[in-house]
Structure 1
């Protein structure tokens, strides 16, 4: 299959492709989303930035003449911003960065599982998701509002493409900055005509091992609850044969982001880069891994949230 990092640009419109780049270290966590919108009458591109210091998002739109894409090697330019598979030169009005991605950890793949979508990667879907790197070194310099930060931390990269995000989904992602561990999780309502179902994709990365949970591997949700206390708390239990993943997520410091619907970025969702996730992973009766991730990314969209008594 085509390299997921590269541009696919399907012929049908509306359509979007977006690259999600995250960096994390002790003093700052930030995310950069670079995307292209193909509509029937025009092509637009955008850059969206958020961080844990200012707790706001910055969104800039670019016209088609400011967009250039080269396939091999992959280069995406938005005016003065340049994205490659190994680096990002970011030029926004109030934010600039020069970042390098080293020692990227790719998802294990096979013909049955060419991407995190498994066999669904071969089907026309509302939204195709790809994990580009579970864990890597990110280094360089970031300048926001004339204050600069030396970046020497851990990075994560993923990508989405399609027409719209799911109407209901939970997305969680976290890495530890001091060791090779990380977790990606997405639970979403998947419309696949003539049916729809709840799809599960998750990867726990511990000491260079990848443990994958997915609907196409037999994973199912045993429990999922959303409760509003001071913050939103989410309890999830996923079973997959002898494997069990238990999560307690706490969403903190929500920031509003633009998100795609029918190729356009006119809806808003809430994302946090400062959430908490307690994880217990077991095989049979044996607990293999238990830990708490801080400074995690978390989105909760479309699910009803109960008020705590």
Structure 2
């Protein structure tokens, strides 16, 4: 148990037979073209044994095309000691993926290597991106930013076209537990125009025994330094919505973050996520978002990061516009 807590990247379901899910999210972005794909391998263990299965969700961001590919439960394999999972003939780890998909009118083959991986800095007390919440055994849903940034080497043959992703960006995260949050917001980008930056932000409803609250974690890597705005470090956050855009501001003692995520409703796809013992299309995501990010240092009165990012991921679920009603600073 302690090994799983200290290394949230690895598989947590070895002793689970039902009422459990786990999935890893791999987003890859081409270095020059607006080509973005996402692969989500995982496993869903239902209270009804016949409904349990493994899966790979495939997102084509440029065409806003989504497929949910199902496999037998036995097709899922995972290492007990490191981040290493496979679904049928598809292999996924922190440093590479091997894709062999040929079904539902999708044919994707190839190998990608990931290097210069930047992980979320953690400690013994606060392991992973969720921190000490990883030590609590009753959480509805756990999350982990496995790699906030990294570079790609290799190519994929996608429906007969060889696409070289070398020099592009990769982002990796995961979720596991009993069900997805009933309401949440997620924003991510690491393909900035003029700087080496990366940002990820999650805000969600967190049920606890006898109560609930809105929790959030925001991580930014800029100029080789990592900045955190989280519930744990007592940051303050405000979220507003404009016409097809989300405006997020986060404050802590020494920094201010201002982020605008711009999207078009027509580009959203409905991803599957666990809810009430089913995998259902409750997560609306686009990979064609645009982020405008300003990170400001209060002490030095200097701007740390002021840049924009294309091919950003933006995702909403549930009553997401009501999340911050009682949490604005």
Same-fold call, TM cutoff 0.5: yes
Q: CA deviation at 1:294?
A: 1.3
Name the SS of the counterpart of 2:132 in structure 1.
Answer: helix
1:111 is matched with which residue? 124
Aligned length: 302
Name the SS of the counterpart of 2:129 in structure 1.
Answer: coil
Q: CA deviation at 1:59?
A: 1.4
2:73 aligned with 1:81: no
Match for residue 13 of structure 1 among 6, 15, 18: 18
1:30 is matched with which residue? 37
In structure 1, stretches of 5+ residues that fail to align are none
2:207 aligned with 1:191: yes
Match for residue 261 of structure 2 among 249, 252, 255: 249
Name the SS of the counterpart of 1:18 in structure 2.
Answer: strand
What is the rounded CA distance, in whole Å, between the counterparts of 2:56 and 2:45 in structure 1? 15
Contact map agreement 1:261 1:267 (CA 8 A) in 2: no
* Larger CA deviation: 204-213 vs 61-70: 61-70
Contact map agreement 1:60 1:92 (CA 8 A) in 2: no
Q: CA deviation at 1:233?
A: 1.2
Match for residue 146 of structure 2 among 121, 126, 132: 132
1:301 is matched with which residue? 317
Coordinate RMSD, CA, aligned: 2.0
CA offsets, 1:128-163, max 9 Å, x none? 110111111112221222222011111111111011
Describe how 1:41-120 pairs up with structure 2 within 5 A.
41-42=48-49, 43-72=52-81, 74-93=83-102, 94=106, 95-120=108-133
2:219 aligned with 1:203: yes
Q: CA deviation at 1:226?
A: 1.8
Q: CA deviation at 1:261?
A: 1.3
Kindly tell me: are residues 173 and 70 of structure 1, through their superposed partners in 2, closer, same or farther at Cα, counting changes over 3 Å?
same
Contact map agreement 2:42 2:56 (CA 8 A) in 1: yes
What is the rounded CA distance, in whole Å, between the counterparts of 1:180 and 1:206 in structure 2? 7
What is the rounded CA distance, in whole Å, between the counterparts of 1:156 and 1:188 in structure 2? 20
Q: CA deviation at 1:267?
A: 3.1
* Larger CA deviation: 171-180 vs 268-277: 171-180
For normalisation by structure 2, the TM-score amounts to 0.86
Describe how 1:144-163 pairs up with structure 2 within 5 A.
144-152=158-166, 153-163=168-178
Match for residue 224 of structure 1 among 219, 228, 239: 239
Q: CA deviation at 1:305?
A: 5.8
Contact map agreement 2:183 2:320 (CA 8 A) in 1: no
Contact map agreement 2:218 2:228 (CA 8 A) in 1: yes
* Larger CA deviation: 289-298 vs 15-24: 289-298
Contact map agreement 1:276 1:296 (CA 8 A) in 2: yes
Q: CA deviation at 1:176?
A: 2.3
Kindly tell me: are residues 112 and 101 of structure 1, through their superposed partners in 2, closer, same or farther at Cα, counting changes over 3 Å?
same
2:325 is matched with which residue? none
Name the SS of the counterpart of 1:138 in structure 2.
Answer: strand
What is the rounded CA distance, in whole Å, between the counterparts of 2:295 and 2:195 in structure 1? 17
In structure 2, stretches of 5+ residues that fail to align are 323-329
Q: CA deviation at 1:304?
A: 6.1
